[in-house]
């Protein structure tokens, strides 16, 4: 949805390539404001639909809250790491965060290899020595990479590319990554081992993980003690993964032969950082993604991602939303629509003044394959009836804040349809309300509600639905239709479901216009009517 002035406004607060800016200007009004202080960003962010940053801008919770109170819908990180963005705060406020994780993969991998080579042959020190008029070949004795063991911590995109290149130098590759399969590691010529094995066996150790609570100071004093004597350590990932004080100590006592660092816990680092005084430490100022190719690619990718997000189209690199591959999007789009409508319909059947305790979502058939995004969509549809500001990004967070327990059940087996989704709402008074739906592919992917509280029906979930629960007796359906006709309300479709003759039954009427409270009250007074609900989808 566009802003109230009819166009999207994008704020760029860090350097972005001209190609990226040009791509942004194809669909938005772009404002470039580099070097903003946090209070300045808070003051202006509410008037922008999107914010694009690199690593220089800190997007704190206060910034996100100010933006979400205004127009902010998406934050784009032109690069990989998002530790400068409060993703949790963005999720809670329903602001989508996207990045460009693949754009700098090659550049970061090549920089890592360059650091390994420079470290193994003393290149920076030898260069400085010779330029100072010294000819000291003996001092700068290096080591070959051939036959050495490279330990990679984190075998994701960049780690895998480093492995491929190191393999070409004749290195043996071992890796620790709890999220990578043995088969994937084998494909790139790496052997998956334990973290301790990497520390114990590697001649060179390079880190390629994100910075998280789990990886903060992953390489600490204890880890250095467990490493091979004379190991060399490289970090071109994120500052903070290595305990810099512990590394300096390990180098001084000879445990670590040298280190090459492109990233630091504090950036820019203090000139007093003790690592800078050590000759066998090579440092660069966070240059891993600093190539013309990577800068251009990340800028274009993030511009495209922001455009998709603002248009409500699927994004490839969402950080805080379930990921769905583009080819799967076309398949899943009607199911997302269905799940949202089932959630909304179920919510509107809630007993009055009864607290919602839990929701159970059941997926059968092909709908059981991508349930995370379907659940987010169903929760968005459900919760939007009770709170404002809920969307597919923050729906699960909002449910937790409301004290609603959410669970899923998945099965490939389904009786009557190719797919079936059900939402069961359990309320404090013990009532269970269940709505089930499917997609009729033969009718152009048309969504259908096929069951409400166990009553089999075939209803189209359209804008206005009048749902009547009644006792299956003569002279119920006719009077209801007469009341609607007398009020000038046209009935588009009608479905009746029952479990047995003379028992409880349901009538679902698709009507072409709003039904006011007085008309609903009149219908409730029809003999044998138990309850009436107007559903708006």
Active-site amino acid positions: 238, 267, 286
In the sheet that holds 191-192, the strands lie side by side as: 191-192, 172-176, 149-153, 204-207, 231-235, 256-261, 281-283
Cα distance between residue 32 and residue 199, in whole Å:
45
Cα distance between residue 62 and residue 172, in whole Å:
47
Cα distance between residue 440 and residue 447, in whole Å:
6
- For 23, 84, 288, the CA distances from 103, given in Å and listed in that order, are 16, 18, 12
Cα distance between residue 303 and residue 78, in whole Å:
9
Cα distance between residue 67 and residue 95, in whole Å:
9
Long-range contacts formed by 192-198: CB under 8 A, 24+ apart: 192/155, 195/153, 196/226, 198/151, 198/152, 198/153, 198/174
Nearest CA to 317 out of 104, 152, 89, 162 is that of: 104
Cα distance between residue 185 and residue 163, in whole Å:
9
**DSSP result, 370-394:** SHHHHHHHHHHHHHTTT-SS--TTT
Local structure of residue 84 (DSSP, 8 states): T
Cα distance between residue 394 and residue 49, in whole Å:
17
Cα distance between residue 75 and residue 52, in whole Å:
6
3-state secondary structure labels for all residues of 352-363? CCCCEEEEEEEE
Helix (H, G, I), strand (E, B) or coil at 280: coil
Cα distance between residue 12 and residue 17, in whole Å:
11
How far out from the chain centre does Cα 133 lie? 54
Angle between helices 477-486 and 517-524 (to 10 degrees): 160
Outline where 402-502 has alpha helix (H). 477-486
Cα distance between residue 215 and residue 208, in whole Å:
10
Cα distance between residue 188 and residue 535, in whole Å:
55
Largest CA distance in the chain: 108
Say if CB 279 and CB 125 are below 8 A apart.
yes
């Amino acid at each position: 949805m566009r802003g109230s002035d009819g166009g999207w406004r994008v704020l760029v607060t860090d350097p972005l390539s001209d190609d990226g800016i040009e791509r942004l200007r194809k669909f938005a009004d772009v404002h470039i404001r580099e070097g903003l202080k946090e209070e300045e960003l808070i003051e202006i962010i509410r008037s922008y639909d999107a914010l694009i940053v690199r690593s220089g801008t800190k997007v704190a919770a206060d910034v996100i809250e100010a933006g979400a109170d205004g127009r902010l819908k998406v934050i784009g990180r032109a690069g990989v790491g998002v530790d400068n963005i409060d993703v949790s705060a963005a999720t809670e406020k329903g602001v989508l965060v996207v990045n460009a994780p693949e754009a700098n993969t090659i550049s970061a991998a090549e920089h890592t290899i360059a650091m390994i080579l420079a470290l193994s042959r003393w290149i920076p020190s030898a260069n400085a020595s010779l330029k100072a008029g010294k000819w000291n070949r003996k001092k700068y004795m290096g080591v070959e990479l051939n036959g050495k063991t490279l330990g990679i911590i984190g075998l994701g995109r960049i780690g895998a590319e480093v492995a491929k290149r190191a393999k070409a130098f004749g290195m043996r590759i071992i890796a620790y990554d709890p999220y990578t399969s043995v088969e994937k590691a084998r494909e790139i010529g790496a052997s998956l081992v334990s973290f301790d094995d990497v520390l114990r066996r590697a001649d060179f150790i390079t880190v390629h993980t994100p910075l998280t609570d789990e990886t903060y100071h992953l390489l600490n004093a204890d880890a250095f003690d467990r490493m091979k004597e004379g190991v060399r350590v490289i970090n071109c990932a994120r500052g903070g993964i290595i305990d810099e004080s512990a590394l300096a100590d390990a180098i001084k006592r000879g445990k670590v032969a040298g280190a090459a660092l492109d990233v630091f816990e504090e950036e820019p680092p203090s000139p007093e950082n003790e690592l800078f005084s050590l000759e066998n430490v090579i440092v660069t100022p966070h240059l891993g993604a600093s190539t013309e190719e990577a800068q251009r690619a990340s800028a274009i990718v993030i511009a495209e991602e922001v455009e998709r997000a603002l248009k409500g189209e699927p994004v490839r690199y969402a950080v805080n939303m379930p990921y769905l591959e583009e080819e799967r999007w076309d398949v899943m789009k009607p199911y997302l629509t269905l799940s949202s409508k089932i959630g909304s319909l179920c919510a509107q059947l809630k007993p009055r003044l009864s607290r919602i305790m839990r929701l159970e979502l059941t997926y059968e058939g092909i709908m059981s394959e991508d349930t995370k995004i379907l659940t987010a969509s169903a929760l968005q549809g459900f919760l939007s009836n009770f709170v404002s500001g809920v969307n597919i990004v923050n729906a699960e967070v909002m449910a937790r804040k409301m004290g609603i327990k959410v669970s899923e059940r998945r099965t490939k087996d389904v009786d009557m349809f190719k797919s079936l989704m059900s939402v069961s709402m359990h309320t404090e008074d013990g009532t269970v309300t269940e709505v089930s739906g499917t997609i009729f592919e033969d009718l152009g992917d048309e969504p259908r509600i096929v069951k409400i509280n166990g009553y089999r029906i075939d209803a189209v979930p359209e804008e206005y639905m009048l749902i009547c629960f009644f006792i299956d007796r003569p002279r119920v359906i006719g009077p209801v239709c007469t009341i609607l006709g007398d009020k000038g309300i046209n009935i588009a479709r009608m479905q009746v479901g029952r479990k047995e003759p003379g028992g409880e039954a349901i009538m679902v009427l698709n009507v072409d216009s709003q039904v006011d409270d007085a008309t609903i009250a009149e219908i409730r007074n029809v003999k044998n009517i138990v309850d009436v609900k107007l559903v708006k989808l």
